Structure 1
Amino acid sequence: MIGMAAFDAVLCDLDGVLRWWDPAIMRDAERAGGLAPGALAEVAFAPRLVEPAITGVQTDEEWREAIAVELAEVCGVDAARAVVAQWSEPHGEVVEEVAEILGGVGVPVVLVSNATSRLESDLAALGVLDLFDAVVNSSRVGVAKPDPRIYRFAAERAGAELDRCLFVDDTPANVEAARALGMTGVHYRNPAELRDVLTAGRRASAG
């Protein structure tokens, strides 16, 4: 268990924590377009394509169009558009145990996500908007984790001082950036560990 002080707000990542993506989604789209395994991810998440999308320079639609344009060089225009469309259709799956945990923390919960302009519609489709007191979408605020500015902005939205925030993320670099600002940073691995940390925090608050 991670030792921690009491906290006044929880700042939580989305993908890899609350939302899970079935790897078959991407594999099936690649297979349908005759692409090699990993080809879609290599293009979609290349920094030169994804960074403009998660910092608001481009919309989600523009990002996906740019992906299709690049893939078209490999599999042709029609196949590339079909691959991107198939991959884009799902919204992922909610990790129900994490949703239950976040719903019972008793302090403001703020989602902090490196995401495109599609984030809000995804959250609505997943039915998790009510879990959050605020949503900090990197593409709306113009900066992405691990930039310190997004953490400060999220703490302000939570109405909490930096050193009274618990930050949860599955990416170690993002957690380290939060700790550097004085937050309690938790590298998410599984729901059980998260529950332990939050339970410890509530006990510290009560004490």
Structure 2
Amino acid sequence: MPEAPIPVFDIGQVLVRWDPKRGLARHFADETAIERFMAEIDFARWHAQQDAGRSVEVAVADLAGRFPHHRAAITGFYADWLDSIPGEVEGTRAIFEGLARRGPVYGISNFSRELFDRTVPAYPFLADFTGLVLSGDVGINKPDPRIYRILCQRHGLTPGACIFIDDSGRNVEAARAEGMDALLFTDAASLSDDLRARGLNW
């Protein structure tokens, strides 16, 4: 019987929820205003640069300088960072912790190191990875194939021995292209079934 694969987890929307609109809510009258703001500043592109290692201080100063009428929202978003992480994804911590009790569990996440370090005290189980590659530490965001290679090189893993779990189809396809088995995360029950079918029990 083949050995069970080694689990590799994403973090946001797999282990903990991430809702940037919630993090901005106190600065705007309604969701329409939030969406208008996010489109105006190109929020996704801006935040991705922090995921790739740019410091929060530099990011805020740059954007607030270009959009001074939004300074309060821009500075407040990271000042109140945990507002945008409103809880765990239901059911996945139990899977993660069960797997971690039985063997190694790794992670690859698009996450600023600064913001990850602010997040862990609120969600201490995120400190329990056997090994974790954060995009903010290596300056590379998923789905760049290099980030999957870095995990394997650092920890002596064979891609074919790993199963990667992510909520993004692009990231899942990139992992598969690197030789990993990969699952598109939708909910804990489906993840549990898929992992058990591959011999991963907890």
C-alpha contact (below 8 Å) 1:7/1:201 kept by paired residues: yes
2:65 is aligned with 1:69: yes
Matching residue of 1:189: 186
Q: Which amino acid aligns with 2:81?
A: S
C-alpha separation in 2, matches of 1:24 and 1:53: 17
Q: Which TM-score applies when normalising by structure 1? A: 0.79
Unaligned runs of 5+ in 2: none
Comparing 26-35 and 128-137, the one that deviates more:
26-35
Mapped partners of 2:32, 2:77: distance in 1: 12
- Dislocated runs of 4+, deviation >6 Å: none
Paired with 1:72 and 1:6, the residues of 2 have a C-alpha distance of 56
**Counterpart secondary structure, 2:140:** coil
Q: Percent identity?
A: 30
Question: Which structure 2 residues correspond to residues 12-161 of structure 1 after superposition, within 5 A?
Answer: 12-22=9-19, 25-26=22-23, 28-31=25-28, 36-42=33-39, 43=41, 45-47=43-45, 49-56=46-53, 58-73=54-69, 75=70, 77=71, 79-80=72-73, 83-84=76-77, 87-90=80-83, 92=85, 93-105=87-99, 106-117=102-113, 118-161=115-158
Give the 3 Å change call, closer, same or farther, for CA 158–166 of structure 1 in structure 2. Answer: farther
Corresponding pairs, count? 195
Matched residue type, 2:95: I
Q: Report the alpha carbon displacement of residue 185 of structure 1 after superposing the two structures with TM.
A: 0.9
Contact 1:26 1:87 in 2 (8 A): yes
Output aligned runs, 1:173-188, within 5 Å. Answer: 173-188=170-185
Maintained 8 Å contact 2:142/2:171: yes
Aligned pair partner of 1:170 in 167, 172, 181: 167
Relative to structure 2, which stretch is displaced further, 28-37 or 14-23? 28-37
Q: 1:8 to 1:160 in 2, by over 3 A?
A: farther
1:13 is displaced (CA, Å) by: 0.7
Counterpart Cα distance in 2 of 1:82 and 1:147: 29
Shift of 1:116: 1.3
Structure 1 unaligned residues grouped into runs of 5+ = none
Q: CA RMSD in A?
A: 2.9
Cα distance in structure 1, aligned partners of 2:51 and 2:83: 19
Alpha-carbon separation, structure 1, partners of 2:174 and 2:28: 38
Aligned AA (1:111): G
Q: What's the counterpart of residue 200 of structure 1?
A: 197
Change (3 A) 1:130 1:36: closer
Q: Which residue identity lines up with residue 15 of structure 2 in the other structure?
A: L
